[in-house]
Amino acid sequence: MTLAAATRDAAATLVAARGVPHRRVEEWKYSDLRAALGEAGLGEDTAQWSVGAPGGIEMFDLSQPRPPAWVVDHFGRDTGNVMSAASLAFAGGGVALRVPAGAAIAAPLKLDFTGAGHVRALLVVEAGASLTLVEGVSVADFRNVGLEIVLGDGAALDHVRISPDAGDAVLVEEASVRLARDARYRAHFASFGSKLSRLELVLTLAGADAQAHLSGVAVLGGKRHSDVTTHLVHAVGDTISSQRFKHVAGGQSRAVYQGKVTVAQGADGSDSNQSAKALLLGEMAEADLKPELEIFADDVKCAHGAAVGDLDAESLFYLRARGIPETEARGLLLQAFLEDAVAEIADTDQRELVRVELLTALKGLA
């Protein structure tokens, strides 16, 4: 039995033992996947992928035999999450990508997932290399993506993920990111919801002086649902992480942010900050914000905060008193509320694209 076969069998065993996550599972209490899927369950279909890869990036189709050593070394290492295990067990294919050591790729890598079912992806950015990853999320009845990202010493990755309003779709993704010494990871997640939309990110700062900076926005209306769940592990000291998430929820929508930071024993000098805020635009809208710290080291600097409220009445009055119609004034305040999270996007083109999507979504809430 090959290592890949053994790993897939172990993943299938885990899925069979735990079943589909539901609200009685603590990590899924705000996103009842079993109820959303109903009798259809997880299925075993294989979703599709497409890549727009600039020159200098090596690609391997995971449905093919004889993978190269860099795939064998990194593929399928994170299977503790039941949905990640499901994508590994049931996906009939996927894609692996490698940026060679020292390569600075100027053009963005575009990775899109389409169709229904399960799919895997692996991205290895080797020592000293740099890349911008733009991840697209298309509509499907149900799709489960397992994404693994490995950053070598001094590697840098900017990651932008835009999940559009997907109607009655159930879209789940589990991303695992591991950073070596001096690596930099900057990610922005923009979500406009679906019947159930969930991104779960497990990020490990495994080398000294590694940094991870996460930001995200969600604009939800109707009965849309968006869940971002993160777990950042400062495995060694002298590492830095930050999280800044903003949500706007109207109608009967539900915005969820669960952010856990773990500072391992001996990881002195770790610096972590997380902030989550939400504005509720209706009595039926809901926001569940749950930042959490788990610290096993002494010499650390960690902070977290969460806030849920409505638009500031005084600011709204100030704008209206100067002749700005109420709908326009509310739109301006909502844009300002979201802007500091959007400003975290390093790539200018992607930052403007997210702004355009946000403006369209906000007009839909007016």
**pLDDT tens series, the chain, 366 aa:** 355 677 888 889 999 999 999 999 999 999 999 999 998 889 888 899 999 989 999 999 999 989 999 999 999 887 678 999 999 999 988 999 999 999 999 999 999 999 999 999 999 999 999 999 999 998 889 999 999 999 999 999 999 999 999 999 999 999 999 999 999 999 999 999 999 999 999 999 999 999 999 999 999 999 999 999 999 999 999 999 999 999 999 999 999 999 999 999 999 999 999 999 999 998 999 999 999 999 999 899 999 999 999 888 889 888 999 889 988 898 899 999 999 999 999 889 999 999 999 999 998 886
Are the C-beta atoms of 227 and 201 separated by less than 8 Å? no
Residues 6+ apart with CB under 8 A from 321: none
pTM comes to: 0.94
Give exposure, 139-163, as e/b (b: 16+ Cβ within 10 Å): bbbbbbbbbbbbbbbbbbbbbbbbb
- Both tokens assigned to 321: 């008193």
Distance CA 77, CA 298 (A): 30
Comparing C-alpha atoms, which of 124, 116, 168 is closest to residue 145? Answer: 116
Are the C-beta atoms of 133 and 164 separated by less than 8 Å? no
